């Protein structure tokens, strides 16, 4: 079973599926959705089967396949996974079908994608871009040839650019270009480092190579290491993102359609922190140790700075985006603490953050679809009329602030307990972010779900028909300051009849709710996969465990 090409199929199936969906004739949107969902479920099954075939106590890289690609330059189409990459494949496999389910009505009146659809953007292409993005994300995590990794790293920008630019909010074009330019600049800096690494390998081995296993055996001069490390680090720090290279994410996260936001923050940004572990630490151990104090300092600044900015947001999607920047600071702290507990917690945090923030973004999208506004001030008293929605929103918020019993608590605890012996001052400062997280999450929940009814829930003035009353800011007028909102919502009377979760929405959120609770109670299956890979990475680094 280990010889079966799981990884190749996980790239090929969604890529072919994207082409088929995009080629469907106009007017076959329902078929496009059904095919997209079926393809994403096939990828999930492949991810589960790959996990079953993976031996946690076996070789570091398993399920490997390799084909010569560009022989003259030593480039191979080489695939393989360790425990770190495998759990990210599981995360992709879970999130993409749920994103497709959550985006089922994308393009309907009252959604952010409606503007793109009305401008002639086919929703068939929306789901095709989702599938193509899935193929590219899988490729990034399974590539064991650095040139191949770079190709996937850059290629995944394209579907996300079109998802934001064609189907996003009012400032979608600005956000898409900003996202693309930041990522492209980081990728070009990394390309220079990749070429430098190839030159070094040619000098030491007599022939150039991009194979990860060969490159991590090189004895690179410490000065050269620093330059090459910075080339990779800048690209990954932009992707993560770390402060001060973070400014593209609030715009992209806020303007992307909800499905795009979930994959952007839940998976795409993890490529940065994955890159730290997979490439920066093993290939450049001396430089990693030299730069670690500075990187940890930036990580702690990011934890606190982003949390403070999140507290001041009135736009729900920007708030959730800033919370993610804060969480990425915790992940970077765990990676560069160089202990098994912190590193394992950081990888588990990557998975748990994708689950918790993915659910939070999906629920925020459901709220926006009902009220027609992204502004927190346009909502209030929602829990009385949508108790199931309010309950899921609360659980997602509690998981985001790492309440004990939720999945994020275990990973955050491991990061802090593993970092404290090595970096006690930085760790203590980072814990302040937990307090700030409780404030921004609970304040958002309280203002939208409790208090007097506002916006779409407010009773119509006496003598007016309920159907004539819309949410505050429904026509694009900002309420309470902040960014202008979306297209006009459905009439209030219509919205009120379907305010709570529908059957389809329950099916979308239920798996994430189960995972939040299950991994909060028993995370050991994921820890068994992650820990050996973290230990192998620290062995390459020569760091304390």
Which residues have C-beta within 8 Å of that of residue 195, sequence separation ≥ 6? none
- Measured distance CA(165)–CA(23) in Å, rounded: 21
- Measured distance CA(486)–CA(457) in Å, rounded: 17
Distance of CA 356 to the CA centre of its chain: 10
pLDDT in single tens digits along all 545 residues of the chain: 667 899 999 999 999 999 999 999 888 888 999 999 999 999 999 999 999 999 988 899 999 999 999 888 889 999 999 999 999 999 999 999 999 999 987 655 445 555 444 444 678 899 999 999 999 999 999 999 999 999 999 999 999 999 999 998 889 999 999 999 999 999 999 999 999 999 999 888 888 889 998 898 888 888 999 999 999 999 999 998 898 988 999 999 999 999 999 999 999 989 999 999 999 999 999 999 999 999 999 999 999 999 999 998 999 999 999 999 999 999 999 999 999 999 999 999 999 999 999 999 999 999 998 888 889 988 888 888 899 999 999 999 999 989 999 999 999 999 999 999 989 999 999 999 888 988 999 999 999 998 777 765 655 555 444 444 343 333 333 333 344 444 444 444 343 455 888 899 999 999 999 999 999 999 999 999 999 999 999 998 876 55
Of 161, 124, 111, 131, the residue nearest 38 (C-alpha):
131
Q: 375 pairs with which residues across the strands?
A: 315
- Measured distance CA(22)–CA(15) in Å, rounded: 11
Contact 236, 280 (CB under 8 A): yes
Write down the H helix ranges in 143-171: 146-155, 157-167
């Amino acid at each position: 079973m280990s010889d079966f090409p799981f990884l190749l199929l996980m790239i090929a199936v969604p890529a072919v599926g994207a082409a088929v969906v995009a080629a469907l004739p106009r007017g076959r949107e329902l078929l496009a959705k059904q095919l997209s969902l079926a393809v994403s479920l096939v990828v999930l099954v492949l991810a589960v089967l790959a996990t079953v075939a993976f031996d946690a106590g076996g070789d570091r890289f398993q399920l490997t396949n390799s084909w010569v690609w560009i022989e003259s330059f030593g480039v191979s189409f080489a695939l393989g996974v360790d425990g770190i990459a495998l759990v990210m494949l599981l995360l992709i496999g879970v999130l993409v079908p749920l994103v497709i389910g959550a985006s089922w009505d994308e393009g309907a009146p009252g959604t952010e994608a409606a503007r793109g659809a009305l401008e002639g953007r086919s929703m068939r292409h929306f789901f095709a871009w989702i599938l193509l993005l899935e193929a590219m994300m899988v490729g990034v995590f399974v590539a064991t040839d650095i040139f191949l990794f770079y190709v996937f790293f850059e290629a995944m920008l394209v579907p996300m650019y079109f998802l934001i630019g064609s189907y996003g909010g009012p400032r979608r074009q600005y956000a898409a270009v900003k996202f693309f330019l930041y990522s492209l600049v980081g990728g070009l800096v990394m390309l220079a480092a990749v070429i430098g690494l190839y030159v070094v390998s040619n000098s030491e081995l007599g022939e150039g190579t991009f194979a990860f296993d060969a490159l991590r055996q090189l004895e690179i001069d410490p000065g050269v290491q620093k330059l090459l490390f910075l080339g990779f680090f800048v690209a990954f720090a932009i992707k993560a993102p770390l402060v001060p290279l973070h400014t593209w994410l609030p715009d992209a996260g806020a303007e992307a359609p909800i499905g795009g936001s979930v994959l952007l923050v839940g998976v795409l940004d993890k490529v940065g922190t994955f890159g730290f572990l997979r490439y920066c630490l093993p290939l450049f151990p001396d430089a990693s140790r030299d730069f670690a104090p500075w990187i940890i300092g930036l990580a702690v600044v990011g934890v606190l700075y982003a949390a403070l900015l999140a507290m001041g947001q009135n736009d729900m999607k920007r708030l959730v985006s800033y919370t993610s920047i804060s969480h990425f600071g915790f992940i970077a702290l765990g990676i560069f603490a160089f202990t098994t507990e912190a590193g394992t917690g950081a990888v588990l945090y990557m998975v748990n953050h994708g689950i918790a923030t993915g659910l939070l973004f999906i629920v925020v999208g459901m709220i926006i679809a009902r009220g027609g506004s992204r502004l927190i001030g346009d909502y209030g008293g929602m829990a009385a009329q949508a108790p199931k929605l309010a309950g899921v929103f609360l659980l997602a918020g509690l998981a985001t602030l790492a309440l004990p019993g939720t999945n994020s608590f275990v990973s955050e605890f491991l990061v802090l307990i593993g970092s404290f012996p090595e970096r006690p001052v930085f760790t203590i400062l980072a814990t302040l972010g937990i307090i700030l997280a409780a404030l921004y999450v609970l304040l958002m929940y309280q203002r939208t779900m409790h208090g007097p009814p506002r916006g779409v829930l407010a009773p119509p003035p006496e003598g007016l028909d309920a159907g004539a009353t819309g949410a505050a800011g429904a026509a694009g007028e900002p309420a309470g300051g902040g960014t202008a909102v979306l297209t006009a919502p459905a009439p209030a009377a219509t919205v009120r009849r379907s305010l709570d979760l529908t059957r389809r929405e329950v099916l979308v959120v239920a798996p994430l709710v189960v995972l939040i609770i299950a991994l909060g109670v028993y995370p050991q299956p994921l820890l068994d996969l992650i820990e050996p890979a973290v230990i192998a990475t620290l062995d390459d680094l020569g760091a304390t465990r």
